[in-house]
Amino acid sequence: MDALARGRQLLPSLANDLMREHSTNGTDAQMISLEEKVKWQLPASLVPDKKWDVVIIGAGPAGSIAAVHLAAKNHQVLLIDKQRFPRDKVCGDGLIQDALRCLDNAGLGERIRERGHLVQIATAFSPSRIEVEVVGLFITMKRRMLDTMIARRAVDLGADFICGEVDKISVKKDQSVCFSLRDIHRNFHAHVGIIATGANVRLLQRIGWQAPSRPSAVAVRCYVTSSLELDRMVISYDKSIAPGYAWIFPMGKHEYNVGCGISSRRAAKKSMHLKRAFEDFVREFPLARELMRRRTAATPLKGYALRYGFEGVYPYARGPLLAIGETIGTTLPFTYEGIGKAMETGQLAAEIVHAALDSGNLRKLVEYPQRLESELKPRCRSYRIAQRWLAVPKINDFLLNRARKSKHSREILSGILTETNDPREFFSLKGIIRTFFK
Ligand SMILES: Cc1cc2nc3c(=O)[nH]c(=O)nc-3n(C[C@H](O)[C@H](O)[C@H](O)COP(=O)(O)OP(=O)(O)OC[C@H]3O[C@@H](n4cnc5c(N)ncnc54)[C@H](O)[C@@H]3O)c2cc1C
């Protein structure tokens, strides 16, 4: 009996599970009908025992985008995630241009724009509450929906998607990869393995890859429903959480993603409690205070780690194994936007893995770390400069004040968000001098 036929036999019991999940998740689950959900994420026991072209661990944006591009090229792809989809992921839910470009490339741009919430203005507040408005194009969408749509796209293109936690990786003498799942005694074999487990780097550390013991930052968020009307992305640089920021991102229908993030080094140094920092923000920042005063509902605060500025595992590839997304620390310092960058590395890895498999020469995989070094890392370094400048409250006040007075600077800042301008065009002596004349 093939996997699909066995899957169909299991439909009634799975449907009951999912029905329970559906009834507790309300509107978030609307977009995925129960029948669809049952068909596309199979229990691990149902996939055939064979050698896959590529096994991808982690179905966040990085892993699923890699699966989309590899499945589109007719490779046999197995995508594994430890969580049952649709699943929540602690995030600010903001998508900027890099993410939208990747979603366009995956054939999902139109649907994301239709279903997400469009916001066209971002307002940043300096530590002394100097306010700067930047025009841009932002989409917010809960990760529960976004990640499901991408993984689902991979399945539609032919990838198999299973639920299971990978707890062991080994590279065999013939240079193939073997993955074992916790709890069930099954191994999965592949020519190439892609690791996309997000800020969690334990899997690769276990086989000797290096990673800083501490993540770069920690962040918390909750969803607040409030009668306050606010249709712009709000960012507040607060003295107490620098280098980091607090945010209010509108999700549509009076719902807001509210949170704050801080460098974990700073949090450890000041024995800072993130929950307390969040409470200070919603008490002291006027817009947040008003939002909370007029709230009708709020979800519990949830936190997660971030790895930015390439503070993830190293090396980025070894033999038939490649690591992508936040596992290698792709999130950009300064903006903390990581979804787009995670997907960019997923795309890049897929392109290189396809070329290697197609030519039968897996040595070509070495191009992946080389391209990261030459394309993504230099960009990351420029964003790190911006992060350092803004981390100093007095400099932050000064810079935002200059930007408020100079239309040219605001355009540059907007270009930094869309990555059409290098942050050094503003965050440099020359950049600052220019604000006095333009
Ligand atoms: C509070 C907060 C706010 C943020 N806000 C934004 C924002 O507004 N915009 C933005 O662009 N970025 C934001 N980020 C960053 C963004 O969430 C990440 O950069 C992004 O999720 C990285 O994608 P990824 O695919 O690399 O990893 P993830 O999205 O973390 O996906 C990893 C997946 O791997 C699975 N997994 C892990 N270990 C295993 C295992 N052993 N076996 C099987 N599966 C496994 C997990 O279940 C998960 O589904 C925020 C982060 C935080 C914490």
* pLDDT tens profile 92-138: 999 999 999 999 999 999 999 999 999 999 999 999 999 999 999 99
- Whether ligand 1 lies within 6 angstroms of the CB of 377 is answered as no
pLDDT at 272 over 80: no
Distance CA 403, CA 436 (A): 10
Domain segments of the chain: what residues? 3-89+144-213+309-379, 94-135+215-305, 392-435
Q: Does the fold of domain 94-135+215-305 match that of domain 3-89+144-213+309-379?
A: no
pLDDT tens digits, 131-152? 999 999 999 999 999 999 999 9
Distance CA 49, CA 186 (A): 9
Mean pLDDT of 268-283: 82
Mutate to test the pocket of ligand 1, among 56, 80, 91 (most ligand atoms within 8 A of CB): 91
Q: Which residue has the tokens 């807001």?
A: 256
One-letter amino acid at 367 equals: E
Torsion sign over Cα 425, 426, 432, 434: positive
Assessment of whether the complete model's pTM goes beyond 0.75: yes
Dist. CA 344 → ligand 1 center (Å): 14
- Topology of the domain comprising 3-89+144-213+309-379: FAD/NAD(P)-binding domain (3.50.50)
Beta strands in 70-186 (DSSP E): 77-81, 94-95, 117-125, 131-140, 160-163, 166-171, 177-181
Q: Find out if CATH 3.30.9.100 is the number for domain 94-135+215-305.
A: yes
Dist. CA 219 → ligand 1 center (Å): 12
- What is the enclosing helix (H) or strand (E) of 33? none
Distance CA 150, CA 88 (A): 14
- Whether ligand 1 lies within 6 angstroms of the CB of 92 is answered as yes
Distance CA 115, CA 356 (A): 36
Distance CA 101, CA 340 (A): 8
Structure tokens at 317: 């590839």
- Which atom in ligand 1 lies closest to the alpha carbon of residue 303? 1
Dist. CA 342 → ligand 1 center (Å): 9
Dist. CA 326 → ligand 1 center (Å): 7
- Whether ligand 1 lies within 6 angstroms of the CB of 200 is answered as yes
Binning pLDDT at 50, 70 and 90, where does residue 241 land?
confident
- Which atom in ligand 1 lies closest to the alpha carbon of residue 58? 34
Dist. CA 306 → ligand 1 center (Å): 8
Binning pLDDT at 50, 70 and 90, where does residue 196 land?
very high
pLDDT at 35 over 50: no
Distance CA 53, CA 191 (A): 5
- Whether ligand 1 lies within 6 angstroms of the CB of 80 is answered as yes
Q: Are 147 and 32 spatial neighbours (Cβ–Cβ below 8 Å)?
A: no
Mutate to test the pocket of ligand 1, among 90, 183, 336, 383 (most ligand atoms within 8 A of CB): 336
Structure tokens at 274: 């993130």
pLDDT tens digits, 313-367? 999 999 999 999 999 999 988 888 899 999 999 999 999 999 999 999 999 999 9
